[in-house]
Amino acid sequence: MNLKRVGLINIILLLVVLCGWLIFFYFPVNQEINSLNQEIKSLEQQISQVGTVERNCAQVEKRVQLLENDLNQLFQLGNSQNDIENTLEQIQKMAQKYNLDLEYMTPLFINQFSVPENEQKKYFKMSLHSYPIDLYLNGKFIPTGEFLEELSANQEPIHIQSIHLLTDTELPDKLHIEIKLLAYMAKE
């Protein structure tokens, strides 16, 4: 019976030691490990966000550089031409080239650019001005497409804002074309 008691005492001691080990060592260490794992995940997320911000910053810097190059090119194009009259003349010549009837062309000599001239001159030598031009033409489908293709590839400093193609039920092979443009000029 003594052996049974000793065995029972050993088992109880073993259970007490095991419970003490779990309570005083395993659970606190495991809790600390879990807390450190949470901190690691949080830091990994922050590192990921910093990486994203750095990539976005690099992309923004690249985009700004491209926009500055485009703006400088626009300044050169706008400054190399005499004035908006030259742009209007080029459009008329293209319309004649593709046998399009130019009903009318209405340039508005009102600057549409939203940044004031003095604000532009803080950053650039010249100021940029944009003037709307409305075109109304009539013509056939294929020449109209060729005209629009040449207009979009033209070296004149213009931007096509909108194009509306309308067909006439009376003349199905003819198009009525309404185009809104912005012509740009750079001034010192």
- Residue-wise pLDDT for 55-68, tens only, equals 777 788 888 888 77
**Residue pLDDT, tens place only, 121-135:** 666 666 677 788 899
pTM of the complete model = 0.53
Q: Give the C-alpha distances (Å, rounded to integers) separating 108 from 94, 132, 159.
A: 20, 6, 15
pLDDT at 173 > cutoff 50: yes
Average pLDDT, the chain: 79
Mean pLDDT of 145-157: 83
How far is it, in rounded angstroms, from Cα 114 to Cα 158? 16
What per-residue confidence (pLDDT) applies to 114? 59
Q: What mean pLDDT do residues 28-49 have?
A: 83
Over residues 32-42, the mean pLDDT reads: 86
Q: Does residue 116 surpass a pLDDT of 70?
A: no
pLDDT in tens, 92-115: 999 999 999 988 888 776 665 656
What is the residue extent of each domain of the chain? 25-80, 82-187
Please list, residue by residue across 52-65, b when 16 or more beta carbons sit within 10 angstroms of its beta carbon and e when fewer do: eeeeeeeeeeeeee
**Is 50 a residue whose pLDDT tops 70?**
yes
Domain covering 82-187 assigned CATH 3.40.50.170 in the classification: no
Please state, in angstroms and rounded to a whole number, the distance separating the CA atoms of residues 4 and 26: 30
